[in-house]
Amino acid sequence: MEQENVNTVKYPAQLDIKFAKVALSLGLTKRELFVKMVEYFYRTKKDPTDINDELMKNTLAKNHKAYTSFIKAQENLLLIPMKESMDRMINNQKEIVKYFNEQVINANKTIIKNLNTTENLITKSLQDKDRIKAIFLQILNNYIKSREELGTFKTREKEELADTVRNQIKYL
């Protein structure tokens, strides 16, 4: 191996212990770690004496403020109007459902009332029909019985009987 132009840096023995631990934990030699540290500070332009790294803090704070401002702007432009619109839409939907339910309930009540009326009319009609059948059967039976009692030669009485039965049926 060729000898490079090497410079030496003198630092306290206590610092060398820390330096060796850091190099060991990173899996580097002390020389490799030193080269990387110099390269890091050269590229990032960070001040090694500033442990808190004010530049990073300022950048983070600036980005945080920018994100917060963006979120607040989006909240005012989009989120709040969307929420208000959704609330109005939900209220409108509730009103529509309420109106629809009222209309359906009223329509159902009317339908039930009409069905009950129709059922009553049909029941009455069936009862009337049965009553008329019974009366007609009674008239027919009386006619048959009376005709048989008259015999065969009483034409005038048979005609009177037929007229009487016709009138009775007519008034059913």
pLDDT tens by residue, 35-60 = 999 998 899 887 777 766 677 777 78
Q: What is the pLDDT of residues 73-126, one digit of tens each?
A: 888 888 888 899 999 999 999 999 999 999 999 999 999 999 999 999 999 988
Task: Give φ, ψ of 153 to 5 degrees.
Answer: -100, 0
Task: Report the C-alpha gap between 139 and 163 in whole angstroms.
Answer: 12
Task: Report the C-alpha gap between 148 and 158 in whole angstroms.
Answer: 10
Q: Say if CB 34 and CB 25 are below 8 A apart.
A: no
Helices (H), the chain: 13-26, 30-44, 54-74, 80-150, 155-170
